Every structure is written in structure tokens, then in C-alpha cells.
Amino acid sequence: MKKVIIDTDPGIDDAIALCYALSHPKLEVLALTSIFGNVSTELATQNALRICELCNTSVPVAQGADSPLHIKRNPAPDFVHGVNGFGNIELPVPTTRRDKSSAAELIIDLVREQPGEITLIPVGPLTNLAKALEQAPDIADKVAEVIVMGGVFYASGNVTPFAEANIWNDPHAAQKVLTASWPVVVHGLDITHQIVFDRPYLGRLAAASPRIGGFLHNAAEFYINFYKEQRNIDGCCPHDLLAVAYAANPQWYKTETGRFDVITDGEQIGRTTTTKVCESNKQIALDVDRTALIDEYFDILGTRP
């Protein structure tokens, strides 16, 4: 099993990805760490705990930074994920408590305890990873891989014409994380817009898995309404799932090597760029076997309660 830590701002597509990660036979989720983005950091922590309880599992959940490194925090996009982050579908108040460590501390401790073993999967703004790197530069050589959901290279952004939300929410952190010496694979909108979970698919998932699939189906309704307006599609893009599924099934993906940069101010703030180079431990995921991913998601979640 691949050992992973998921840094997340749940969020509807985060919930879709977390339910898969917590159920996947090839993934061992060592911890979740929370970050602002779709909701405040405090609510992200509570939502991560809610998802663990929904999936009948208990992993440490550590709370992350409550603001970006250098810019003012952007307002949470409640028109995308609802005020509660789950399309205004309520899950019970969690009974489990968060871990006492901060997100950065927990990441540092686990990575130092198991050097070379742990893959980090940030699917929100990259502040926690940047702080972990600042506090413990040695972890750059001890992390197996960093699989990011964020950025866009060959298409338009989703918050400005140039920028994708996770990078735009903390461009300085993204700059640090995407240019550090550790291996990075970035799943930007170039690939995440290729996968759509439509209403019939989510309906079948709800029928097969009334509790977990049913929750995802109901929460996604709000998200689908946003996508209808934004992209004129009758379904939603499960962005964060692309990064998590890569951890379990890298063979499904086509990637390109490059060198990254992030624009940290001005009109293009949050824009991610790449320069093509052959020898690099930085990759962009550009294509995926859609059928394999959509089918596997159903196979895994459809057998849950």
C-alpha cells in the first residue's frame, strides 16, 4: 500500500476524493491536514473529520494555516461548494477530535519517521506544505513524491483567465512547493476538466451506496448547478480525485516533464507556467484513462454502505 497524507479544504470534490482514498485498497491514508480554500481552515478540519466518520474510519486530522503566506485570504467560494463546503448538505457534528499537532508539524514528524515512504497529496492551497518546507527543509529529500491538484498550463483558469483556485489562493506557497527539490506531479485544470461525474452516474452511485454515495450525490447537486452555469455541463469535475487516483494508478496517466514557475503578483497572479525540459523530477499530468478511473471509482465506492 502507498502511504499518503492528504492536505485538503473539503469541499465537494475534496469529499469525493477523500471517500475514495479512505476506501482504496492500494492507499494507506496516514493523516489528513486541513487548509482554507473552499471553506475556512477551522471548517475544513471539521469537514475532514466528518468525512472520516462518514467512511467509518479514523485517521489523524491536523489543522493547518488559517491564511496565506503573504497575501490576504480570499473569501470562501460559497457559490461553488455551499456555505458548509458540502453543498449545504449536513453531516453530523464529528465526535472525534483533531490531532494536537499543526498540519506542518504532523507532516514533518511523519515524513522524518518514515523517510522515502510518504507521498503528499495537497488538493487545496499549498500553504501547509510551504510552511513544512520552511520549518524543516530536510523533508524535501525524504518525501517520496508530491502529487498536487492545482494550476493550469495550457487552458484558462477558473478564478481568473490565468489562475486556478488552489494556486491563486496562495501563489507564494505554490511557488515554494512547485520549485522545491522533491518530485512533483501537478494535476491542473488541463486534466481535471477532462473528467465529469454526471447526474445519472452519481444517481447510480447513490443507489449502490446509500450512505456514502448518497451523501456525495446530494452534495454534488449544488456543485453541478455551478458547473451548469460556468461550463454548461450537466455534471461536475471531481478535480481533487485526479491527484488521489494518480497515487493509486499512475499507469493510467500521461505526463510531460518541465520546470515550474508561479506568478505571485499583478494581473496574472496565481498563473502557473512550465518550461519544457527532459531531465526533471517535475511533471504535469495531461491525460488519463477516463473510463478506467470512472469505473474504478464506482467499483470502490459502490461496495461501501
Q: Could you list the active site residues?
A: 239
Which residue's CB atom is positioned nearest to ligand BDR? 165
> Burial code of 220-256, b = ≥16 C-beta within 10 A, e = fewer?
bbbbbebbeeeeeeebbbbbbbbbbbbbbbeebbebb
Closest approach of ligand BDR to the CB of residue 188, in Å: 9
Question: How near is the Cβ of 125 to Ca ion at its closest, in Å?
Answer: 9
Q: List interacting residues with ligand BDR (CB under 6 A).
A: 11, 13-14, 37-38, 80, 123-124, 149, 158, 164-166, 239-240
Q: CB neighbours of 245 closer than 8 A, spacing ≥ 6?
A: 20, 252, 288, 293, 296, 297
Q: What is the 3-state secondary structure (H, E, C) of 101-124?
A: CEHHHHHHHHHHHCCCCEEEEECC
Q: At what angle do helices 290-301 and 12-23 cross, to 10 degrees?
A: 70
Least separation in angstroms between residue 239's CB and ligand BDR is: 4
By the rule CB under 5 A, 14 interacts with Ca ion: yes
Positive/negative CA dihedral, 175, 185, 31, 215: positive
Establish if 123 lies at the interface with Ca ion (CB under 5 A): yes
At its nearest, how many Å lie between ligand BDR and the CB of residue 75? 13
Residue 202 contacts which entry, ligand BDR, Ca ion, none (Cβ below 5-8 A, type-dependent): none
Residue 145 site contact among ligand BDR, Ca ion, none (CB < 5 to 8 Å, cut-off depends on kind)? none
Binding mask 74-113 for Ca ion (x = CB under 5 A): ----------------------------------------
